[in-house]
Structure 1
Amino acid sequence: MAIRTILHYPDPRLRQKAQPIDQITPELQRLIDDMAETMYAAPGVGLAATQLGEPYRIFIIDVANEDEPSNLMVFVNPEITRREGDVLGPEGCLSFPGVSEDIKRAENVTVRALDRSGKPFEISADGLLAVAIQHETDHLDGVLMIDRMGMLKKRIVQRKMQKRHSATAD
């Protein structure tokens, strides 16, 4: 396992659509392990393969509280099949360090996916898990949280991230 570099906005690779996974390979299992180590080290509650520059339709989520045991969930080729209700709440992203903005999401979702061994599953979720599923699915489609912000907030975040990018590029 290895901690990988998380891509930060405005890296154009974050806009690439992920490709479906045809089979679970040892390389994919290694990627999942690296994603978990990277997410926990960040620390975050979710991470899409595209955030590591890997073009695969896979993300991981762990929304367990700090006082609870880890509950890592792996979603391969996820598809949201139901969205219900609306919720507006603060959202952050490992590709937007230091940014937290209110984002409108569906309150409840149902998602179908494969687990890390390739077994199909379906879950319905609400709360933080529902938000994380939608956020990570967006990543796989090349959609970023900044795309869900109003024009003013979008400009502020773009400036902040450009400034950060310039500072780290020097």
Structure 2
Amino acid sequence: MKILPIRIYGDEVLRKKSDNVENIDGNLVDFLETLLISMKHAKGLGLAANQIGINKRIFAVDMSYIDVVKEPIVIINPELVDFSGSFTEEEGCLSLPGLFQEITRPEKATVSGLDRDGKEITIEGKGLIAKVFLHEIDHLNGKLIIDYLSKSQLGLLKGKLKKIKSGRQV
């Protein structure tokens, strides 16, 4: 399996709504391994397929951040089915390296979809895991954390966003 590079802010694939997966076949199984390896290599809590250039509704989450014995999960064609509560916390993104912003998200989120074997699953996340679920679903819908910011907040980040877009460190 190969490691694919993370697509960075400015890459148009990050702004496209991802397409549903129609078939789970050998090519998809190989891609799921690539997604997991790429996430681990980037030291990400989660990774959406479009962040490595594949416009499909798939994301991975490293569950070991909440329980060291838990394996990473993959959710194919994820849908947010329920959410509740609210909390504000600093959030970063592999596609916006070095940028961290306070984002308000639901405290609990329930997501349904298919696992890597094509079986229907429903998973509830709380706190950090809920945030990761919602963050990755945002990616699949072409949304980034900066889309939660006000015009004045974006104005303050203009220089940093320009640096990120050009591949420079912030």
TM-score, normalisation: structure 1: 0.92
Matches within 5 A, 1:1-170: 1-65=1-65, 68-69=68-69, 71-166=71-166
Equivalent position SS for 2:14: helix
Name segments (4+ residues, structure 1) moved above 3 Å.
none
Encode CA deviations 1:60-87: one digit per residue, 9 max, x unaligned.
0013239823520110000001111111
Counterparts of 1:138 and 1:66, CA distance in 2: 21
Counterparts of 1:69 and 1:124, CA distance in 2: 18
What percent identity do the matched residue pairs reach? 37
Encode CA deviations 1:113-133: one digit per residue, 9 max, x unaligned.
100010001122111110000
Equivalent position SS for 1:24: coil
Task: Provide structure 1 residue ranges, at least 5 long, that are not aligned to the other structure.
Answer: none
TM-score, normalisation: structure 2: 0.92
Further displaced range: 86-95 or 157-166: 157-166
Task: Provide structure 2 residue ranges, at least 5 long, that are not aligned to the other structure.
Answer: none
Specify whether residues 160 and 135 from structure 1 end up closer, same or farther in structure 2 by C-alpha distance, changes over 3 A only: same
2:49 counterpart letter in structure 1 = A
Root-mean-square deviation over aligned CA pairs? 1.7
2:65 counterpart letter in structure 1 = N
Aligned residues between the structures: 168
Counterparts of 2:86 and 2:18, CA distance in 1: 26
